[in-house]
Structure 1
Amino acid sequence: MRVLMVAQSPIAGDSRILREAAALTGAGHVVHVVGRDVPEGFTLEGGATVESVSRSAGLRGGSGPAVGHGRRGVKVLVQRFGRWLLLPEHRLRTEKQWRTAAASLLASLEPFDVVHAHDFNTLELAASFASQWSASLVYDSHELWFDRALPGRPTPLWRVRGRRFELGLARQAAVVFTVSDGIAQRLRERGLPDVRVIRNTFPRSSVAPVLPASPTGLLYAGRVGAGRDLPAVVEAARLLAPFPTLLMGSVDPNYRLDLGPVQKVPETSIDEVDRVLQESGISLVTLTNTCENHRLALPNKLFHAVRAGVPVVAADLPELRAVINRYHLGTLYTPGDGASLAAAVRSLIADYAGYVDGVRAAGDELNWEHDAAVLVSAYSALAKPPANAH
């Protein structure tokens, strides 16, 4: 089939979209991706093609380093209040501008057999073109969209109306994918019958991991920004010193954090992150307990640790707890509590060999080869004509 994927995320850094596109081309489908901020000359594995639609930048922030001591004063407080007040409208406006530009691009394309919407902010656009082309609609919900913790002032009515609108559109989909059992259950409870889980796992490594006999440090490898519980990481680092805590990842604009004893290390490739994880011996999977989306999330970094063969210290949130306890992947800490995080690190170190064994055994199931099969199977069903077709 000819498959169109639509996403507002920066495609080059969205591993879920890249892996899904490669899995579908590997199964014989022709895949074209329309996304955002695609670098010049960027190509997708497996032969999928890609086009880019730009999106306006965020609200202008203050000058100065994004990680370091925050600035103070009346002027700064006024600026922050203005951002807090205006962010919801700005977010909606920029997403709408992207959809308008993307619609013009899609109108110039030949019809597709399937339109695959990545996240709610492309669902209305995808549903419209699926209807025009008599194509199947697929909804890929990377997050529980209207239950996320968002910067800016509260928008309760937007959330209530948004959930209703999302469900109305999603019911048009032939199949709905999401990233965890917890989010899948919520979507079923809200009225979507066919929701399937494709986790953000990683392909299995062809090289057996080599780990130290005892961990030499902690590594947080991921986005540096709000909602990642990084103040608790800093507090734990002070309690664990001189045991090293490392931080690696892109920094959100305007995010300020006093790193204290945490060492910032340069970003690197995914494969190189494996090496740093293995040298450190412990992966941090941190989230705040501030929204239902976090409580039901399974972050990429959890599965990256499994691929690298490294045990984790993770936030004690329902979905993370279920997976980590089931597979004996590591220990849990109370979100927002640096002392609890430090205690979880010490507990993991005390039974390090046992947790390493758990992670290695889990690799047989928690891998992209397993999850890609769910995607390919669903698409195979879409390709078959209805049983009553003549």
Structure 2
Amino acid sequence: MMTVVTVTPMALESDSRTFKQAASVARAGYRSIVVEGRTSRLQRDALPFELISPDGDPEDAGAEEPTASSQSGGLRAFLKRAPESLKWPWRVVRYVAMYAIDFGFVTVRRTPPASLYYLHAFYQFPAVYCLSRRYGVPYIYDAHDFYSRLEEPDQIPWTRRHLILPFERWLERKCVKHAAAVVTVADGIADLLRETFGCESVVIRNCHDSRLDQEHPSVVRETIGIQPDDFLVVVIGRAKKGRAILELLQAVADLPDKVHVAFLGSGYQDKFADDVQRLGLAGRAHFVPPVKPFEVVPFVRGADAAAILYYARSVNYAYSLPNGFFQSVAAELPVLYPDLIEIKKVAERFDIGLGIDPRNSQSLRVGIETLRNDTGRYEQLRRNLSKAHIALDWENEEKKLHELLVNILAEKA
């Protein structure tokens, strides 16, 4: 049996794209192994593939892709006050150590031989490239984002702008050059990769795989303890830059007390608890810890609507087509969606929600009021969603993945 080894820098429980892809590999009849960069709390014997984790206890599964910025509290406080001349050498040292140890030596040591490697994000490219050369096998590169423009130059420190980002762009160019195929999440990202690296990409969208769904012990309405006639808007995914969280809180504060919002994911409590108190939203704005990726859709299905709060913070965000959007569709929740190219294209094609400006609390308030009060429009959206979630299921995207695997492994043979 041929073996496909998937490598991700993240904890698998916070990387639903990698989870779906690895399950699809196993479903195609290959031995599927995932090497995760951070330790998940997943029950291994219940997974449809093998999972290799770092040594030690599970880490914060809600964290973003690894960076060189984490440090102890005392050191963080010192660096916050220190001049740039003291900050940048430390950042460079941390970054070099991360690449050499975490993304290099540790990844090589933990990753088994394979017939094909499947690399998510370019960070571990040096290790995967070495393994592919050692065993004489190809690798696929899956770009979840347009990493070169995750942030704009004026949004990042001097060290990252002038030292780290040029290195990462060079590294990703090498990764693309040597890959047997490049995969990405949306047509817009594929266009950006073509313009930057001269490559053609296979677009496999982040559609939800309903075959993997498992019920959570509770559902979101029960977890937060609201009444059946309360109107609940959910936001799926961790708190991070590029999402208009505060504006949604302000919108909910201007709506009747029967309107609630639940944020499913990590990071909200630390960043927005003070805003909830200031806006008088205690008991109406709820921060819900993350659930497993295959529990998200059953968990939120009892809500009334979903808000997609991304805005065009950078070129990458302008073309985003996130998991949370497809999970909202799979749960058949009418969506409040931003004017971002890829999201708007899908939402308008199936007529599954209302367009809003996520950075304008008035726009968000009007959108929620319309969904809550216009019964005819709301029911039409729900009917559209009952059809859209079938058309936007991962099973359709999986066919492209299976075809890609067959073609690359046939070329290897």
The one-character-per-residue Cα deviations of 1:314-360 (angstroms, maximum 9, x if unpaired) are 22222211221122121122232211222222344432112212222
Once the two structures are TM-superposed, the CA of residue 2 in structure 1 deviates from its matched residue by 1.7
Distance 1:234 1:130, change over 3 A: same
Q: Note if 1:264 corresponds to 2:290.
A: no
CA contact (8 A) 1:116 1:137 kept: yes
CA contact (8 A) 1:36 1:53 kept: no
Identity of aligned residues (%): 20
Q: Note if 1:353 corresponds to 2:368.
A: no
CA contact (8 A) 1:178 1:195 kept: yes
Return the structure number with greater helix share: 2
CA contact (8 A) 2:187 2:203 kept: yes
Q: Residue 69 of structure 1 corresponds to which residue in structure 2?
A: none
Paired with 2:336 and 2:42, the residues of 1 have a C-alpha distance of 38
Moved more, 241-250 or 227-236: 241-250
Give SS of 2:369's match. Answer: helix
Q: Residue 244 of structure 2 corresponds to which residue in structure 1?
A: 229
The one-character-per-residue Cα deviations of 1:16-45 (angstroms, maximum 9, x if unpaired) are 112111111111112222212324784162
CA contact (8 A) 2:119 2:140 kept: yes
Paired with 2:247 and 2:95, the residues of 1 have a C-alpha distance of 28
Q: Note if 1:304 corresponds to 2:327.
A: yes
Moved more, 118-127 or 262-271: 262-271
Q: Residue 184 of structure 1 corresponds to which residue in structure 2?
A: 190
Moved beyond 6 Å, runs of 4+: 54-57, 211-215
Distance 1:253 1:141, change over 3 A: farther
Of residues 152, 172, 177, the one that matches 2:178 is: 172
Paired with 1:342 and 1:309, the residues of 2 have a C-alpha distance of 21
Give the counterpart letter for 1:203 in structure 2.
Answer: D
Distance 1:196 1:104, change over 3 A: closer
Give the counterpart letter for 1:326 in structure 2.
Answer: R
Q: What is the TM-score when the length of structure 2 is the normalising length?
A: 0.78
Count of residue correspondences = 369
CA contact (8 A) 2:237 2:324 kept: yes
Distance 1:145 1:231, change over 3 A: same
Q: Note if 1:283 corresponds to 2:285.
A: no
Give SS of 1:12's match. Answer: helix
Unaligned ranges ≥5, structure 1: 63-74
The one-character-per-residue Cα deviations of 1:53-87 (angstroms, maximum 9, x if unpaired) are 6789922348xxxxxxxxxxxx97x7645599569
Q: Residue 58 of structure 1 corresponds to which residue in structure 2?
A: 70
Give the counterpart letter for 1:235 in structure 2.
Answer: Q
Distance 1:46 1:282, change over 3 A: same
CA contact (8 A) 1:184 1:195 kept: yes
Paired with 2:210 and 2:298, the residues of 1 have a C-alpha distance of 15
Paired with 1:253 and 1:166, the residues of 2 have a C-alpha distance of 34
Q: Note if 1:156 corresponds to 2:158.
A: no
Paired with 2:24 and 2:347, the residues of 1 have a C-alpha distance of 27
Give the counterpart letter for 1:16 in structure 2.
Answer: R
Q: Note if 1:131 corresponds to 2:133.
A: yes
Q: Residue 219 of structure 1 corresponds to which residue in structure 2?
A: 234
Q: Residue 12 of structure 1 corresponds to which residue in structure 2?
A: 13
Q: Residue 4 of structure 2 corresponds to which residue in structure 1?
A: 3
Paired with 1:168 and 1:285, the residues of 2 have a C-alpha distance of 34
Q: Residue 201 of structure 2 corresponds to which residue in structure 1?
A: 195
Paired with 1:83 and 1:245, the residues of 2 have a C-alpha distance of 40
CA contact (8 A) 1:333 1:344 kept: yes
Q: What is the TM-score when the length of structure 1 is the normalising length?
A: 0.82
Paired with 1:162 and 1:225, the residues of 2 have a C-alpha distance of 21
CA contact (8 A) 1:332 1:341 kept: no
Paired with 2:127 and 2:365, the residues of 1 have a C-alpha distance of 46
Once the two structures are TM-superposed, the CA of residue 176 in structure 1 deviates from its matched residue by 0.8
Give the counterpart letter for 1:363 in structure 2.
Answer: H
Q: Note if 1:362 corresponds to 2:388.
A: yes
CA contact (8 A) 1:219 1:277 kept: yes
Q: Residue 30 of structure 1 corresponds to which residue in structure 2?
A: 31
Give the alignment's Cα RMSD to 1 decimal. 3.4
Q: Residue 71 of structure 1 corresponds to which residue in structure 2?
A: none
Paired with 2:119 and 2:55, the residues of 1 have a C-alpha distance of 15
Paired with 1:213 and 1:12, the residues of 2 have a C-alpha distance of 30
